[in-house]
Amino acid sequence: MPFDTAALEAALRTRCVGRRLLFAETMSSTNQTLLEAAKAGRAVCGMVALCERQTAGRGRQRRLWHSPAGLNLYFSVLWESRQPPERMPQLAMVAALALREALDAAAPEARIGLKWPNDLWDGAGRKLSGILCECPPWQGETRQAVIGIGVNVNAAREDFPPELAATAGSLRLATGRRLIRETLLGNILNLWEMKILEWEASAGFTAFTAEWEAHDILKGRTIAVDMPGGKILHGKVLGVDERGLLRLQGADGAVATVTAGDVHLHVE
């Protein structure tokens, strides 16, 4: 069914997030739409870009995000903050927490967990969602961030290309039922605003570490991290620190903090 923006509006309980909506059937990417709006001075805090289909959807490391029409959620939120630059990447992790809570409420049988830094996986080890945070150049004390989210909601197995068949999941595949996308997105945005305001009032990620670790699918597992520049780290995940960085214990017992990288699970 076509997305009903009036039903989304009815589901919102926010003060600003989602109250300004840019909707189109097709966008190159929702992040790009908001980045262009910000550059042109047309963006406001809480603005959401939403579409039914992306022609150039992107994930982390500029990977393409498969975006079939009319099945899933592809949206971005623009947020403005006076927090220091080093805190801005935490926005994606806060978004992941809000997203996990909303998806869990709608589909508890999916057993959704968090994979650092900001992916959501179902209990079968399939990726349900990805998040991409981009910060346009800023002037003055107020910084802008665009947080793009793709959620596989009602996609069936045949809706994924062969190269994603083994790794991609959806809420429909995890539960055996279709979900109402408008209600789901409304709940996501409601929780997102609540958590982001809590983050703004905090001094770090400490207020969220317990919640993160309660749903962390990596904690206690041995992983490899492909670091920027080609270096690979191996170790056991101890959790996240007060900045949201990954804590990794090497074979020699030394603990490193990882700021960015692609995580791969070791076969155990």
- Cβ–Cβ under 8 Å, residues 75 and 185: yes
Mean pLDDT of the chain: 92
pLDDT of residue 64: 58
* Amino acid present at 16: C
pLDDT of residue 54: 92
- Residue 88 structural domain: 5-213
Residue 248, pLDDT > 80, answer yes
- The structure tokens 């790794």 sit at 167
Most confident of 9-13, 55-59, 225-229: 9-13
pLDDT of residue 66: 72
Q: What tokens appear for 151 in the block?
A: 């959620």
Do residue 244 and residue 187 come from a single domain? no
- Cβ–Cβ under 8 Å, residues 189 and 12: yes
Which CATH number fits the domain that encloses residue 256?
Answer: 2.30.30.100
Do residue 59 and residue 183 come from a single domain? yes
Do residue 184 and residue 257 come from a single domain? no
Do residue 226 and residue 192 come from a single domain? no
Which CATH number fits the domain that encloses residue 151?
Answer: 3.30.930.10
Do residue 11 and residue 134 come from a single domain? yes
* Amino acid present at 84: P
- Cβ–Cβ under 8 Å, residues 151 and 99: yes
Specify the number of domains making up the chain: 2
Residue 60, pLDDT > 60, answer no
Do residue 60 and residue 107 come from a single domain? yes
Q: What average pLDDT does range 150-170 have in this prediction?
A: 92
Do residue 71 and residue 128 come from a single domain? yes
Q: Regarding predicted confidence, which is higher, 229 or 187?
A: 187
* CA pair distance 21, 2, nearest whole angstrom: 16
Residue 63, pLDDT > 60, answer no
**Of 213, 231, 248, which one is at a domain's C-terminal end?**
213
Do residue 208 and residue 238 come from a single domain? no
pLDDT by residue (tens digit) across 91-109?
A: 999 999 999 999 999 999 9
Q: Using alpha carbons only, how large is the chain's radius of gyration in Å?
A: 18
